Amino acid sequence: MNLYFKEYGEGQPLLILHGLLGSSGNWHTLSRNVFAKHFRVFTLDLRNHGQSPHSEAMSYENMAQDVRKFAATHELEKFNLLGHSMGGKVAMHMATTSPDLIDNLVVVDIARRAYSEHHKYIFDALMHLDLSSVTSRADADSKLSADISSVPVRQFLLKNLAYDAENGYTWRLNLDNIWNAYSHISDALDQGAFDGKTLFVRGGASDYILESDEPEIRLHFPNSEIRTIEGAGHWVHSEAPDRFADVVLEFLTRDS
């Protein structure tokens, strides 16, 4: 599978993987304005997301294999890898299964463990939205507001809404395939370890990386550190972009 991507800047490669129901566009501003000054940045759309191809197969190994193929296609022998949420789990899986490819690993607000399937209400709302009746983005937002009260979450989700004159409004992502894989996406990762330099960044107002997760993180990523962005929630990079970028750049450029 050939993943859709955007490329920015020059230098040592940095691959960025978005989270569940996200896309490469979530990382556009940080990539263009900050990371591209230091790295050759690639933001990828993972399978079934954004403008990448769709597939019923959506295990973490499937997604990691897509990233391996991308690296080979672009002749990237070794690269920095950053992943947020689901993308963070893909990044951890890649690091433990293909450690020779990874220079530095950055995992944003996710641990190795299983998570409750608390996005179900979001899938329900998206899958029950009658797109044929949607007349505008504002109309779609209004219809979703009955089930999804958070304005930032709706704005994030509506970035997946596409429009053309022939077909009207459609979802870019493949909701059915993602939903069918959701229980696997929520599962804990397989066993494995990565000895390379690793940074975990968590939001201080998020419950995705708890103090109780730290022993397992250090067991599987012994050369890791954990940094907290106080006041930020799960979308750390969008809620506190400047502080997030400072922490990540300090880590990635250390000893360089």
pLDDT of residue 133: 94
> Do 105 and 139 reside in the same domain of the chain?
no
Residues 54 and 175 reside in one and the same domain: no
Query: Are 206 and 244 within one domain?
Result: yes
pLDDT at 249: 98
pLDDT of residue 255: 76
The yes-or-no answer on residue 85 being catalytic is: yes
Q: Within 13 Å of residue 5, how many CA atoms lie on the same side as its CB?
A: 21
Which residue in 18, 49, 84, 234 is the catalytic one?
Answer: 234
Residue 105: per-residue pLDDT:
99
CATH number for position 9:
3.40.50.1820
* pLDDT of the residue at 254: 87
Give the total residue count for the chain: 256
Q: Does residue 22 sit in the same domain as residue 102?
A: yes
Calculate ∠ Cα 226-109-31, nearest 5°.
100
State the residue range of the domain holding 28.
5-113+188-253
Active site residue 149: no
Find the DSSP H helices in 145-201.
151-158, 175-186
Q: Which residues of the chain have pLDDT under 70?
A: 256
At residue 167, the pLDDT reads 87
Residues 227 and 106 in one domain: yes
> Quick one: 209 and 224 in the same domain?
yes
Residue 166 has a pLDDT of 87
Q: What is the pLDDT of residue 256?
A: 60
Query: Could you tell me if 61 and 86 lie in one domain?
Result: yes
Q: How many domains does the chain have?
A: 2
Domain end marker among 179, 202, 230: 179
Question: What pTM was computed for the model?
Answer: 0.96
Residues 128 and 166 in one domain: yes
Choose the catalytic residue: 103, 141, 147, 176.
176
Domain boundary among 133, 149, 179: 179
Contact between residue 4 and residue 24 where contact means Cβ atoms under 8 Å apart? yes
| Catalytic residue selected from 31, 85, 206, 224 | 85
Residues 150 and 98 both lie in one domain: no
Q: Are residues 156 and 221 in the same domain?
A: no
Q: In angstroms, rounded to a whole number, what is the distance separating the alpha carbons of residues 63 and 144? A: 29
Residues 107 and 143 in one domain: no
Residues 18 and 58 in one domain: yes
Structure tokens at 58: 């959506």
Domain boundary among 179, 199, 226: 179
How far, in Å, are 19, 145, 201 from residue 122 at the CA level?
14, 11, 25
